[in-house]
Amino acid sequence: MASNIRRAWEQDGLRWSVTTEIDHDTDPAEADCYDKADRDAFHNGDWCFLVVTVTVHLGGTPGNPLYPCEMSTTLGGVDFGRLPGHDEITMDTLIQSHPVPSMRREIMEQLGDLRAHLATVLDALEPTDREPGVRS
């Protein structure tokens, strides 16, 4: 059904990708939010759980210790397919509504934290400790 889907795009000057795989570790019987019809549809293959990974692919230049650089976050137990009484959840739904937008925000926050940390480290270096061409 949804095994190993990959979608890539550019947004806000960054390259992003989403990959999915079937989440075999999650079962609708383990959560109170799924009723008998949901569980039956799950076992009939109408829908499944996915593990969704969102990755930002950061550029760089060869020779840079961060080249190539990627940052990602992963979420399991994501509904995918047609649950009874609901609209079908497709890859477009995942990317446009849930969970990809919040996962992208999480990555952007992590990048901001990393940038602030790197600036602090660079500011703490003595000018002679810096490699040529590195500015704070």
pLDDT in tens, 54-97: 999 887 666 666 567 788 999 999 999 999 999 999 999 999 99
Query: Residue 129's pLDDT is what?
Result: 56
pLDDT at 124: 83
How far is it, in rounded angstroms, from Cα 39 to Cα 77? 14
Residue pLDDT, tens place only, 4-61:
788 999 887 888 999 999 999 999 999 999 999 999 999 999 999 999 999 998 876 6
Cβ of 41: how many Cβ atoms within 10 Å? 20
- Give me the chain's average pLDDT, please: 87
Cα–Cα distance, 52 to 57 (Å, whole number): 16
Q: Tell me, what's the pLDDT at 13?
A: 80
Write down the pLDDT at residue 4: 78
The model's pTM: 0.80
Report whether 41 contacts 7 (CB < 8 A): no
**Cβ contacts of residue 45 below 8 Å, gap of 6+?**
1
Helix (H) or strand (E) holding 20: strand 14-22
Sign of the alpha-carbon torsion through 95, 99, 105, 109: negative
Cα(23)–Cα(52) distance, integer angstroms = 9
